[in-house]
Amino acid sequence: MPGGYRQFCPIALASETLTQRWMLLIVRELCAGATRFGEISRGVPGITATLLKRRLDTLEQAGVIERYAAGHTRHAYRLTRAGEELRPVLAGIGTWGQRWARDIRPDDLDPGWLVWAMHRRLDTAAMPPGRTVIGFIFSDALPHQRRFWLVCSHPEVEVCLQPPGHEEDLIVTTTVRAMAEVWRGLRPLTPEMRSERILLAGRLALRRAFPRWLKLSMFAGVERQTRP
């Protein structure tokens, strides 16, 4: 392919596909369960629709994903056997990143992506029966990125960018950084709540249960190391 490394080393050949910009993040979303174009796009918000389409086409041509019919006029994507073999590869990269990669910078703190990531890691079975609505207020975000809602009905969780039309059972007020650091496992949730960096409003039973609902990033248990 143009721009290849001109080496027959398997790492070089794999890199021709997998190290293209955004590619591993797209595969990450597919590994996390995204199948529709819009779902993948929400998990990789910095990519344009045109470039996302090109990257998906590349993955399909490489045999990493396949398209399948999802309705009369729609299609979706899923990992092939080759794509499934990337799961432990991504897990290893994520583990390395949690342990050794640079610290979080201000321009990394996207509240929309944070809420999208959290919605996949909620233990809805631990929530009360029926519907539970969790509102998030990020006090340091831009006005159009300040409010989000998660509407949880076991086992489904819907992310809402506008008021969902149901009363909020729990409201979480915090900064993007505080919630991101908790999500990453860099700070424990309970002390952040006690220090009021993360404020909860709602019935006492729900406030006490919230730490059990949020399962955090799959890399949260990896100990962070200080870089030399």
Q: Is the pLDDT of residue 1 over 60?
A: no
Please report the pLDDT score of residue 72 as a whole number. Answer: 77
Displacement of CA 2 from its chain's centroid (Å): 32
Distances (CA, A) of 172 to 97, 209, 211, 218: 28, 13, 12, 22
Average confidence (pLDDT) over 219-226: 94
Q: How many CB atoms lie within 10 A of CB 122?
A: 19
Average confidence (pLDDT) over 85-109: 97
Q: Which domains does the chain have, with CATH numbers?
A: 10-100 (1.10.10.10), 106-213 (3.30.1050.10)
Residue 163: cis peptide before it, omega within 30 degrees of 0? no
pLDDT in tens, 144-195: 999 999 999 999 999 999 999 999 999 999 999 999 999 999 999 999 999 9
Average confidence (pLDDT) over 2-10: 87
* Token reading at 191: 């002390």
pLDDT band at residue 2 using 50, 70 and 90 as cut-offs: low
CA pseudo-torsion sign 92, 23, 149, 178: positive
Q: Is 113 left (phi over 0), alpha (psi -120 to 50) or beta?
A: alpha
pLDDT in tens, 45-62: 999 999 999 999 999 999
Distance CA 62, CA 219 (A): 28
